[in-house]
């Protein structure tokens, strides 16, 4: 029930219970710092009547990438704006669905939505409550990209990946940053895994808390990674507004390609996306 899912629970108690019940495979798990967050922007995906995304908050990337290269990752999907690939479902969740089908020359379809030009923010807490898809070659992601991406290009604009999952390993997610001198295979990254929980079986909260000289990555309010300028081999570029992206890719050089055992269709369900600023 969506209404039940949005009851506020003490972050400290929730984090303790999850760790006590399931454990995690990360090292040096840190305690949650309490900050005075104020909501700055959100989408609760409650427009069930129409099923359509709020176009004052989101737009779509369409196609196979500007260079016809699978968005730079050799991905196989064609991103569309169709309801078959992105819709608010009857439970009030955003469903981004990857399908195996022939479409515009591609063998798969999916959706990639973004707040570019509609909402951008520097610093604060960015979070989303998500239930992931699964299966070999399925690549869901919740991430941020520098709002200056068109003018300076990637990776100079910076990229913050709050959650990426290789579908063949549904109990492990990664939090990553890319920038000049630490992009692609040289990115700064760390994984988080529960021992007995898969991220496709239930919703989990993925977040980053971002300040002038740090990025803190959370799963279910457990802090599992802090990145500071001292961790980087290149320039810290996380000092300007970023926008939000949600997508489900199929295949690509990050995780490999679907197999005959990969189930389709596969949906990433998003309960909400919220962004906060820190009250002074």
Give the tokens for residue 158.
Answer: 């910076």
Which ranges constitute the DSSP H helices of the chain?
2-5, 11-22, 149-152
Whole-angstrom Cα distance, residue 243 to residue 140? 17
Tell me what percent of the residues of the chain surpass a pLDDT of 90: 83
Of 75, 77, 120, 164, catalytic? 164
The number of beta carbons lying within 10 Å of the beta carbon of residue 222 is 22
Largest CA distance in the chain: 54
Question: Is the pLDDT reported for residue 221 higher than 60?
Answer: yes
pLDDT confidence of residue 15: 42
- Sign of torsion, CA 88 91 93 95? negative
Whole-angstrom Cα distance, residue 202 to residue 270? 11
Question: Is the pLDDT reported for residue 168 higher than 50?
Answer: yes
**Rounded to the nearest 5°, which phi and psi values hold at 230?**
-70, -20
Is the distance from CB of 253 to CB of 74 less than 8 angstroms? yes
Q: How would residue 135 be classed by pLDDT, with cut points 50, 70 and 90?
A: very high
**Rounded to the nearest 5°, which phi and psi values hold at 185?**
-70, -15
Q: Which of the residue ranges 11-25, 138-152, 200-214, 225-239 would you say has the lowest mean pLDDT?
A: 11-25
Q: How would residue 19 be classed by pLDDT, with cut points 50, 70 and 90?
A: very low
Question: Is the pLDDT reported for residue 23 higher than 80?
Answer: no
Which class for 90: exposed (0-12), middle (13-18), buried (19 or more C-beta within 10 A)? exposed
Report, as an integer, the average pLDDT of 213-233.
Answer: 96
Q: Give the CA distances from residue 246 to residues 96, 231, 238, 266, 268, in Å, rounded to whole numbers and listed in that order.
A: 8, 26, 19, 15, 9
Question: Is the pLDDT reported for residue 50 higher than 80?
Answer: no
Complete domains list, the chain, with CATH: 2-278 (2.60.120.200)
Tell me what percent of the residues of the chain surpass a pLDDT of 70: 88
Of 127, 159, 195, 230, catalytic? 159
Question: Is the pLDDT reported for residue 14 higher than 80?
Answer: no
Is the distance from CB of 161 to CB of 175 less than 8 angstroms? yes
Q: Which of the residue ranges 3-7, 53-57, 58-62, 132-136 would you say has the lowest mean pLDDT?
A: 3-7
Q: How would residue 95 be classed by pLDDT, with cut points 50, 70 and 90?
A: very high
Residues making up the chain, counted from first to last? 280
pLDDT confidence of residue 33: 58
Which residue, chain included where needed, has tokens 């039940």?
A: 4
Question: Is the pLDDT reported for residue 24 higher than 90?
Answer: no
pLDDT confidence of residue 47: 77
Burial call 135-165: b when 16+ CB within 10 Å, e when fewer: bbbbbbbbbbbbbbbeeeebbbbbbbbbbbb
Q: Give the CA distances from residue 111 to residues 82, 106, 108, 267, in Å, rounded to whole numbers and listed in that order.
A: 8, 13, 11, 10
Report, as an integer, the average pLDDT of 185-201.
Answer: 95
Q: Which DSSP category does 229 fall into? A: G
Q: Which DSSP category does 149 fall into? A: H
Q: How would residue 227 be classed by pLDDT, with cut points 50, 70 and 90?
A: very high
Establish whether 101 is a catalytic residue.
Answer: no
Question: Is the pLDDT reported for residue 1 higher than 80?
Answer: no
Whole-angstrom Cα distance, residue 18 to residue 136? 27
What residues contact residue 191 under an 8 Å CB cut-off, 6+ apart?
Answer: 25, 26, 172, 173, 174
Establish whether 25 is a catalytic residue.
Answer: no
Question: Is the pLDDT reported for residue 117 higher than 70?
Answer: yes
């Amino acid at each position: 029930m969506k209404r039940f899912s949005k009851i506020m629970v003490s972050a400290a108690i929730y984090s303790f219970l999850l760790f006590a019940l399931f454990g995690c495979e990360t090292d040096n798990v840190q305690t949650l710092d309490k900050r005075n967050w104020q909501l700055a922007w959100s989408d609760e995906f409650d427009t069930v009547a129409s099923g359509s995304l709020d176009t004052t908050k989101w737009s779509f990337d369409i196609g196979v990438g500007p260079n016809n290269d699978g968005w730079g990752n050799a991905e196989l999907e064609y991103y569309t704006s169709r309801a078959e690939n992105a819709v608010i479902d009857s439970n009030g969740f955003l469903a981004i669905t990857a399908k195996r089908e022939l479409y515009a020359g591609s063998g798969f379809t999916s959706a990639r939505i973004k707040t570019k030009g509609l909402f951008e923010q520097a610093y604060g807490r960015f979070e989303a409550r998500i239930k992931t898809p699964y299966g070999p070659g399925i690549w869901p992601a919740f991430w941020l990209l520098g709002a200056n991406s068109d003018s300076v290009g990637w990776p100079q604009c910076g990229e913050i990946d709050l959650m990426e999952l290789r579908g063949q390993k549904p109990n492990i997610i990664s939090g990553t940053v890319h920038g000049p001198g630490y992009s692609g295979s040289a990115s700064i990254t760390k994984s988080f895994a529960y021992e007995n929980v898969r991220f496709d079986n239930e919703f989990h909260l993925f977040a980053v808390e971002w300040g002038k000289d740090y990025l803190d990555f959370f799963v279910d309010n457990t802090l599992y990674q802090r990145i500071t300028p001292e961790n980087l081999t290149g320039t810290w570029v996380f000092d300007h507004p970023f926008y939000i992206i949600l997508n489900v890719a199929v295949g690509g050089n990050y995780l490999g390609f679907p197999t005959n055992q990969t189930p389709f269709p596969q949906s990433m369900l998003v309960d909400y996306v919220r962004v906060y600023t820190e009250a002074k």
